[in-house]
Amino acid sequence: MVPMDRIGTPLFEPEIGQYLLVGHRDRQQRPWPAIMIPDDLVPSASSRPYGFYHTVLLIKEVPEVCYALTRDLHPIEDMFPDSEEVSQTNGLSEAYGMLHEAIGSEMNGLDYWRMLIQSQNQHPDVSSSSSVDSDSEDEDDMREAIQRSLIEERKARGRTSLPTPSASPPLHQYEHGDIRNYTVAGPSSRPSHPTIQRGDVVEEMEDSKAFVQFLVGPERSRFEILSTKVFSRRYFALTHHGRMVPKGKEGWTINLPSLSECDPTDFKLAAQYLDDDEFGIRIITDENRDEAFAECVSAWDIADKLSMEDLLEHICDKMEYVGPWSSAEVLVFVELVYRTPGTPLDGYARMKDMLTEYIADNYYALMRDNHAAMTRRLKMFPELERDVMKKVMERAQRRIEVEEAEEWEVDE
């Protein structure tokens, strides 16, 4: 028999792990997204009220445990409610953003939120409807670090990834110009929020499941990245799974020999990408275009060393927006890309094709103005020489066909 409320309306009975809305329908405040949780996720400091209450986790910047009556629980009928209505309630738009992220994480809902509140359960001042005020002065650094990371993450997702490029010369237009050192990226347009390299917060993270530690460079600089962002990547979760080493009581360090070869400054770009699928400069303009190109080069070096296939593809996308390239830029980048033989991942094939298209289109100008540098790279990488010469010959064949067609027209 289906339970009813006082006026005969069927009551919603969610199961553990199910997403829902919490709130009284008759009140002006909109219901809040939440997830039904088992008792083992309830902080020890939380006091359960008397009566029959369901335990739910309100989806907020810092997830909040509360107890709700059955009549206050409702199914989520619209995963994308009207943005204007949602924005009228402080924090509700961000809550739906967190909900979408959790659902899209490919993790079990309970596992996802269990990981994020694991650190909070270790402290008595965890946010809860029945706990003490979380604004106390002795609020721990660990919770602040997680909160800052989540807030910045959601803000970044609201930004435009890459702008629609304005009218500009063709991608393969040949340009003269000097090149600066493109092996180290300039300062990013925003800080890398998922990385924390020093201080007491790092020590607190030793026992946290919420972060994976990366030790980068000869000096083993510390980067702490959210576990959800690491384990959702196949190349870390599968390929490098055997490299995960326990740290503290419950945390992890990823032990990759190639990390010691990475420049920590360059790795910040990869850390940004792991966090929100973007890195460096977001809006490319004429003024920051050179810096954006430098970031692509630096990010490629890290993606290449760590086999980050999605980052390689993203760099290819971004390279199209920083065109047209100069010959000096192409000569720098082509040497970096072709040091990896073949096309072990799709990103290599795509980038090699883009670079050799440019070289073939501008082959004679490059040989005239950059003869020594061009010749050295062709000799250094036979694969590059093969790819370039193949495309040069294809262009020559097309010219022959055009000339023959023109001769036929004259004869007729």
pLDDT digits over 223-278, tens only? 988 888 888 887 887 655 567 777 776 678 888 889 999 999 999 999 999 988 99
Whether 71 maps to a domain, the answer reads yes
The overall average pLDDT reported for the chain is: 75
Q: Is 397 exposed, middle or buried (0-12, 13-18, 19+ CB in 10 A)?
A: exposed
Among 114, 131, 148, the domain boundary falls at: 131
Residues 297 and 221 in one domain: yes
pLDDT at 9: 57
What's the confidence (pLDDT) of residue 132? 34
* Residue predicted with more confidence, 36 or 142: 36
Given a cut of 70, is residue 351 above it in pLDDT?
Answer: yes
pLDDT for res 272: 93
Report the pLDDT value the prediction gives residue 133, as an integer from 0 to 100. Answer: 40
CATH code: domain of residue 237: 3.30.710
For every residue of 354-385, DSSP letters joined together read HHHHHHHHTHHHHHHHSHHHHHHHHHH-HHHH
What's the number of domains the chain is made of?
A: 3
Residues 204, 351 contacting (CB under 8 angstroms): no
- d(CA 239, CA 346) in angstroms, rounded, equals 17
Task: Give the model's confidence band at 35: pLDDT under 50 very low, under 70 low, under 90 confident, else very high.
Answer: very high
- Please name the residues in contact with 50: beta carbons below 8 A apart, sequence gap of 6 or more: none
pTM (predicted TM-score): 0.52
300 and 410 in a single domain? The answer is no
In percent, how much of the chain has pLDDT > 90?
A: 31
The last residue of a domain, from among 74, 98, 131: 131
In which domain, by residue range, is 107 found?
19-131
Question: Residue 155 pLDDT more than 50?
Answer: no
To the nearest 10 degrees (0 to 180), the angle between helices 92-103 and 109-121 is: 120
If asked whether residues 331 and 318 sit together in one domain, one would say: no
Which one has a higher pLDDT value, 209 or 399? 399
Domain boundary among 305, 323, 341: 323
pLDDT of residue 164 exceeding 80: no
CB of 373 closer than 8 Å to CB of 334:
no
H helix or E strand, kind and range, residue 55: strand 54-58
- Is 7 part of any domain? no
| pLDDT over 50 (residue 197) | no
Quick check: 303 pLDDT over 50? yes
Check pLDDT > 70 for residue 335. Answer: yes
Same structural domain for residues 111 and 84?
A: yes
273 plus 226 within the same structural domain: yes
Return the higher-pLDDT residue of 195 and 394. 394
Domain annotation covers residue 168: no
Do residues 183 and 317 both lie within one domain? yes
